[in-house]
């Protein structure tokens, strides 16, 4: 449980996979949560209703994380409705895999602007108030950003960028009581990985010493810890969760 049960967390990309698990985990821990989503109103409303049925608070915001102005609007609405944002979790991300030789510039820009640009947009929208009152920023990267993956130059570059962003920002804002960390998941069972064909899935699992995929809740629990006062001396770090693969 957070020290203050009225702490506020904003999660981008909150309706599926890791984002959904983070919303549910933080709400269960007593946070008032707000989350963005890119498309499905039904999924967002269902998630918020589920949080409400358990006694929690969840606000939903339709938002393309590439839109800086919309990021500012979302942050202001969250502050108005719930109070100052204590924790920002930049989770929204997409994959558009293609070999570089056949990658259109649009596929490059879409992934970079969503994954890395979205991280900038929401961190930038939140940072002013956090510099005055403290706070926590958590960025969801990927092992692809640490090791590189063939056919994912756009995705790997965006996730590597998030790691650099995290380490630089952590040093920039530490003296203001703002902590910034990243989580780099490996193979996690989500909608994004569900499209893998069975032979590729088996090959991937064979590379994981623990012999299994991770679950979204594994990432959510680590995020909850990193947002807590128990992690008050941790900043500028990248936590890899990949079953020992790297």
Confidence (pLDDT) at 13: 97
Confidence (pLDDT) at 195: 65
Q: Residue 10 phi/psi, 5° resolution?
A: -115, 125
How far apart are alpha carbons 224 and 236 in whole angstroms? 16
Structure tokens belonging to residue 91 = 């989770």
Mean pLDDT of 195-214: 83
Burial class of 64 by CB neighbour count within 10 A (0 to 12, 13 to 18, 19+): middle
pLDDT, tens digit, 9 for 90 and up, residues 185-201: 999 987 656 666 777 77
pLDDT band at 2 (very low <50, low <70, confident <90, very high): very low
Confidence (pLDDT) at 3: 42
Cα-to-chain-centroid distance, residue 242: 16
Please list the active-site residues.
Answer: 155
How far apart are alpha carbons 85 and 75 in whole angstroms? 8
> What share of residues in the chain are helix, strand, coil (percent, to 5)?
50, 15, 30
pLDDT, tens digit, 9 for 90 and up, residues 120-156: 999 999 999 999 999 999 999 999 999 999 999 999 9
Confidence (pLDDT) at 4: 43
Confidence (pLDDT) at 1: 36
Segment (H or E) for 75: helix 68-82
Using CA atoms, how far residue 127 sits from 27, 132, 228, in Å, is: 22, 9, 18
How far apart are alpha carbons 205 and 180 in whole angstroms? 31
Confidence check: pLDDT of 232 > 50: yes
Structure tokens belonging to residue 87 = 């924790």
Give all domains of the chain, ordered by start, each with its CATH number.
Answer: 8-238 (3.40.50.720)
Structure tokens belonging to residue 75 = 């942050």
Looking at every residue in the chain, the average pLDDT score rounds to 94
């Amino acid at each position: 449980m957070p020290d203050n049960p009225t702490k506020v967390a904003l999660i981008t990309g909150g309706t599926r996979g890791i984002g959904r698990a983070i919303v549910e985990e933080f709400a269960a821990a007593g946070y008032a949560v707000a989350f963005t989503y890119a498309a499905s109103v039904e999924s967002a409303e269902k998630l918020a209703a589920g949080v409400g049925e358990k006694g929690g608070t969840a606000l939903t915001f339709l938002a393309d994380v590439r839109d800086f102005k919309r990021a500012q609007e979302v942050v202001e609405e969250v502050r108005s409705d719930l109070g100052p944002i204590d924790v920002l979790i930049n989770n929204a991300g997409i994959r558009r895999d293609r070999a570089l030789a056949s990658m259109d510039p649009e596929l490059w820009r879409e992934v970079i602007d969503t994954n890395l640009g979205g991280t900038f947009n929401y961190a930038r929208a939140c940072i002013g108030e956090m510099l005055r009152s403290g706070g926590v920023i958590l960025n969801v990267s990927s092992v692809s950003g640490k090791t590189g993956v063939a056919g994912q130059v756009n995705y790997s570059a965006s996730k590597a960028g998030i790691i650099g962003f995290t380490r630089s920002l952590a040093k920039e804002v530490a003296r203001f009581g703002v902590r910034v960390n990243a989580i780099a998941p490996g193979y996690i069972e989500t909608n994004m990985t569900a499209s893998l064909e069975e032979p590729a899935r088996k090959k991937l699992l064979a590379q994981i010493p623990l012999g299994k995929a991770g679950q979204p809740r594994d990432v959510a629990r680590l995020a909850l810890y990193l947002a807590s006062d128990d992690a008050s001396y941790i900043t500028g770090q990248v936590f890899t969760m990949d079953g020992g693969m790297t």
